[in-house]
Each structure stands twice: as C-alpha cells, then as structure tokens.
Amino acid sequence: MSELSHVDETGAVRMVDVGAKPAVRRRAVARAVVRMAPATVAQLGNLPKGDALTTAQIAGIMAAKRTSELVPLCHPLPLTHVGVELRVAEEGVEISASAETTAQTGVEMEALTAAAVAALTVYDMAKAVDKGMSFEVELVAKEKE
C-alpha cells in the first residue's frame, strides 16, 4: 500500500476521493519573490511591455481560478476569494497570493499557482531589460476552520 495520496495500492495514479469529507472553510497564502537588478526595479513602471505589476496581479488571479486545468489530479474548487498583492522592494518584487474556499479539500495549490504565475508574468514583462532575474515561490500558510 502506497503512502502517497495520489497513488493507489497498485501504483496507479489517481485523483484523491474527498467525497466523504465535510466542506470546511479553507485559506492558503503563498509568497513569491522576483529578484532583479536595481536598475530593473527602477523601470518597473515604464517597461517596454507595459505595467508589469497590474498585469501580474490579474494573471495571478486568473491562474488561481484555472489551477485544476494546469495541475494534474487537482480538484476544481469553488473559490470564494483570490487576492494577489505585489510590492516593489529593493531587490525586486514581492508577491503575496491568497486563496479561499469552502470545500472538501485545501486551496494551497491555488495560492501557489497564483503566486507562481504572477512571478512568471513579472519575469516575462521585465526580461527584455534584465536577463539575470530569478524567482522563488513558497507556501507560507494553510488554514481550515
């Protein structure tokens, strides 16, 4: 018997059955940091592709809503709220993404997807002026009532 939740006793991949679990209020928060040169930080409001921060915020929200289409075996969830906030910092852009639902499974994948896609969008919009950017994404909170 496998200890992995997405693998059955024969080793086949499966979607976890959450049908018997009660619907519970759930929230998750993820964080991403896009590191870039100080000169790039100074240009964020005036990039060749346009407003990176607003575009990344919208991209993150849209991505959270489509997580089950992007991540195999992820349950589609009725999201009640998605928030994506971007803050310009000295070393780059800090992104906080939250997702909320009342469902039978958690929303950490939605929060992580929102943060990751927002980071990818900042990267895409600034890559013409900074070839040395990097980013990281992490889950910072997972709650249920």
Torsion (CA) 126, 130, 134, 140 in degrees, nearest 10 = -40
CA–CA gap between residue 64 and residue 27 (Å, rounded)? 13
Q: How many whole angstroms from its chain centre is CA 92?
A: 18
Residue 124 among the catalytic residues: yes
CA–CA gap between residue 19 and residue 140 (Å, rounded)? 27
- Residue of 8, 17, 51, 124 with catalytic role: 124
Amino acid in position 80: T
DSSP label at 74?
P
Active site residues: 124
